[in-house]
Amino acid sequence: MENKEGNARKPRRHAWALLANVILLASTLIGCGPSAEDLATVDYTPLAGGDWLVSTPEEQGLDPMLVAQLYHEAAEMETLYGLLVVKNGNLIAERYFNEGTVEQKALLQSASKSYLSALVGIALDQGCLSSVEQKMLDFFPEAVDQVADPRKAQITIRHMLQMRAGYPDEETNSTYLDALYWGEYLPLIADFPLVNDPGTKFNYSNLTSSWLAIILARACGTDLKSYAQEHLFAPMGIQVGDWLQDRDGYYIGSGGIHLTAREAARFGVLYLDDGVYKGKQIIPANWVRDSLQTYSEHARSYGTSVHFRDMGYGYQWWSARAGEHHVNFAWGHGGQLIVLLDELDMVIVTTADPFFAQHDGQTWQHEKATMNLVADFIRSLPKE
C-alpha cells in the first residue's frame, strides 16, 4: 500500500515502546495478565494473500507484545469473528475466531452508514447532488402533502448526515424499533414525529440514514448497490456481498452491507489516505476531512462501561478518545468496527456476530466487550 505521493510508508520508531514492555512486565509480575511466555505463543501472523502488503509489528515500529496481548484477549471472546491491525499501510496482524474466516462477508450493521457517507461525497463530486443544503422533502414529493409538521420542510442533507434531522432514536421506543424492522420506510417520513427542531440536537436515527440512501439512489438515477459497486467498491478491487433491502426494494443505508474484514480495512486505509487508493482519488479529500469532523460532541455517553471516551459524531462517522489518542470509527451493532488512528497511521477492524434484530442486555455486553478490547489496546499504545 502506498501513500498519495506513491512512496511506500516508512515506520516511525521511538524509545517509548520500551515503556510498554515495562508496563506489560509489571502487570504479569503482579498477576494481572498473561505471562510473557503465554504471549510468545500467540499467533497473529497475517494469512497468505495477495491483496495486502504484509509486515510485522516490529518492522512498523510497534511493540509486538502489545499486539500479542490484544489477540490473547480476543481469543477468549465468544462472538468475535475477525480482528485485523493495519499499520503504515501494511497488514501486521490478522486472526479469525469462532465462525469467522478470511472469506466471510460479514454483515457490518451500522458501520454501513460510513460507506453511505462516502457515497454522498462521491455523488456531490459527480453532480448527482448539488449541495448538502438540499432539502430532504425535495426528494420525496409523494410525502409532501402527508407531512403535517412544517419543520420537516427545513431538514437538509447536512442535518441527515449529522444525525441532527430531528427524528427520534428508534431504540428508545418499541413502536419505533418495530417499524424499523418492518422495513416500510417511506410513510414514516410523515408518520414519525420530530423530537427536536432540525439542526439543533443529535439523535441516532437509522431511518434518517435509510432515507438518505433513498435520496442518493433517486438523485443518481440508479439503485444504491449498483452505484456503490461502480464508484466505490470496484475502484478498490472489491465485490460487495449481500445488501439488505427494505420492503420497497431500496437498499438499506443504515446497516445492510456485507464485506470481509480485509475489505473493511481497505476502506479504513482509504480514509487515512484522504480518499486515495493506488493513486486514484475515489472520495474527494475535502469530503473525507469534513466527514471526520465532530459536529455533535458527547453524542453518546456510557459512563465508565465503555472505554471510548468523549464520543462525538461527524458525517455518519463516530469520534472518540481512547487514552491519549483521538480516533474516528465506523460502528455497527454486535461489534463491527473500523477504527482510524490517523496519528499512528493505523486501522483496526473487528467483525462479530451481528445479532440481527436482537437488542437486549446480553447482545450489548458482547458488543461492549469488543469495543473495550479495541479501546484498551489503543490506550496501551504510546504516542508517536
| Number of domains forming the structure of the chain | 2
Whether residue 203 contacts residue 172, with contact meaning beta carbons closer than 8 Å, is answered with no
Q: What is the CA radius of gyration of the chain?
A: 21
Residue 246 placed within a domain: no
The string of pLDDT tens digits covering residues 299-308 is 998 988 999 9
Beta strand pairing call for 53-54 and 90-96:
parallel
Please check whether residues 73 and 145 belong to one and the same domain: no
Phi first, then psi: give them for residue 367, nearest 5 degrees. Answer: -60, -45
Beta strand pairing call for 346-352 and 336-341:
antiparallel
Question: CA 10 to CA 16: how far, in whole Å?
Answer: 18
**φ/ψ bin of 121: left (φ > 0), alpha (ψ from -120 to 50), beta (otherwise):** alpha
Q: What is the pLDDT of residue 151?
A: 98
Please check whether residues 142 and 214 belong to one and the same domain: yes
Please check whether residues 26 and 70 belong to one and the same domain: yes
Please check whether residues 89 and 134 belong to one and the same domain: no
Across the strands, what pairs with 327? 320
Question: CA 263 to CA 240: how far, in whole Å?
Answer: 9
Q: What is the pLDDT of residue 82?
A: 98
Q: What is the pLDDT of residue 43?
A: 96
Across 229-249, average pLDDT = 97
The string of pLDDT tens digits covering residues 125-138 is 999 999 999 999 99
Total count of residues recorded for the chain: 384
Please check whether residues 215 and 278 belong to one and the same domain: no
Q: What is the pLDDT of residue 359?
A: 87
Domain that residue 357 falls in = 16-109+258-380
The string of pLDDT tens digits covering residues 14-70 is 444 444 444 444 454 445 678 888 898 999 999 987 789 999 999 999 999 999 999
Domain end, chosen from 220, 236, 269, is at 220
Q: What is the pLDDT of residue 384?
A: 78
Please check whether residues 68 and 150 belong to one and the same domain: no
Q: What is the pLDDT of residue 32?
A: 62
Whether residue 86 contacts residue 195, with contact meaning beta carbons closer than 8 Å, is answered with no
Please check whether residues 102 and 174 belong to one and the same domain: no
Residue 307 placed within a domain: yes
Q: What is the pLDDT of residue 383?
A: 87
Mean pLDDT of the chain: 92
The string of pLDDT tens digits covering residues 281-297 is 999 999 999 999 999 99
Q: What is the pLDDT of residue 375?
A: 98
Q: pLDDT above 90 covers what percent of the chain?
A: 86
Residue 286 placed within a domain: yes
Cα 352 to Cα 27, 101, 200: the distances in Å are 28, 11, 34
For 274, the grid coordinates are 484522504
The yes-or-no verdict on residue 9 having pLDDT over 60 is no
Domain end, chosen from 205, 220, 235, is at 220
Q: What is the pLDDT of residue 28?
A: 46
Residue 104 placed within a domain: yes
Across 247-261, average pLDDT = 97
What's this model's pTM, rounded to 2 decimal places?
Answer: 0.91
Please check whether residues 91 and 135 belong to one and the same domain: no
Domain end, chosen from 166, 195, 220, is at 220
Q: What is the pLDDT of residue 20?
A: 47
Torsion of CA 146, 149, 153, 156, to 10 degrees: -110
Across 315-337, average pLDDT = 98
Across 223-234, average pLDDT = 98
Across 220-224, average pLDDT = 97
Residue 252 placed within a domain: no
Residue 3 placed within a domain: no
Across 321-336, average pLDDT = 97
Q: Which residue did the predictor score with more confidence, 216 or 20?
A: 216
Residue 97 placed within a domain: yes
* Residue 216 neighbours by CB under 8 Å, 6+ apart: 116, 119, 120, 123, 128, 129, 224, 227, 253
Which CATH number does the domain housing residue 358 bear? 3.40.710.10
Please check whether residues 187 and 270 belong to one and the same domain: no
The yes-or-no verdict on residue 234 having pLDDT over 50 is yes
Residue 294 placed within a domain: yes
Please check whether residues 208 and 266 belong to one and the same domain: no
The string of pLDDT tens digits covering residues 57-116 is 999 999 999 999 999 999 999 999 999 999 999 999 999 999 999 999 999 999 999 999
